[in-house]
Amino acid sequence: MVLICLPTIANAAPENIIVTATRLGGEQAGSNVSVIDEKTIQARNPGSVVDLLRDFPGLFVQQSGGRGSVVSLFTRGAKPNFTLVLLDGVKANDPTNTRGGSYDFSTLDLNDIARIEFVRGPASAIYGSDAVGGVINIISRRGGDHLEAGLKAEGGSFDYARIAGHVSGPIGAATGNLGLSYTDNGMPVDGSSLKNTSLDGSLALPEIAGTAVSFNGRYSNSIATSFPDSSGGPRPGGPAQPGSSRYSGRRVWRAWPARYGRLVEHGAGLRLL
Whether residues 134 and 160 share a domain: the answer is: no
Please compute the mean of the pLDDT values over residues 59-77 and round it to a whole number.
Answer: 83
Confidence at 259, pLDDT banded by 50, 70, 90? very low
CA 154 to chain centre: 19
pLDDT in the model for residue 11: 41
Identify the band that residue 21 occupies on the pLDDT scale cut at 50, 70 and 90: low
pTM of the model: 0.72
What per-residue confidence (pLDDT) applies to 17?
55
Q: Which residue has the higher pLDDT, 9 or 147?
A: 147
Range of the domain at 170: 148-272
CATH of the domain at 119: 2.170.130.10
Q: Which one has a higher pLDDT value, 19 or 144?
A: 144
154 and 264 within one domain: yes
| pLDDT at residue 215 is higher than 60 | yes
Same structural domain for residues 153 and 180? yes
Q: What is the pLDDT of residue 79?
A: 87
Answer yes or no: do 156 and 247 share one domain: yes
Same domain for 98 and 60, yes or no, is: yes
More confident residue, 230 or 66: 66
CB-CB contact of 62 with 72 (8 Å): yes
Which secondary-structure segment (H or E) carries 220? strand 211-225
DSSP code for 5: -
Answer positive or negative: Cα dihedral of 52, 55, 56, 60.
positive
Burial class (CB in 10 A: 0-12, 13-18, 19+), 12: exposed
Q: Considering the domain boundaries, does residue 200 fall inside one?
A: yes
As for how many domains the chain has, the answer is: 2
Per-residue model confidence (pLDDT) at position 170: 94
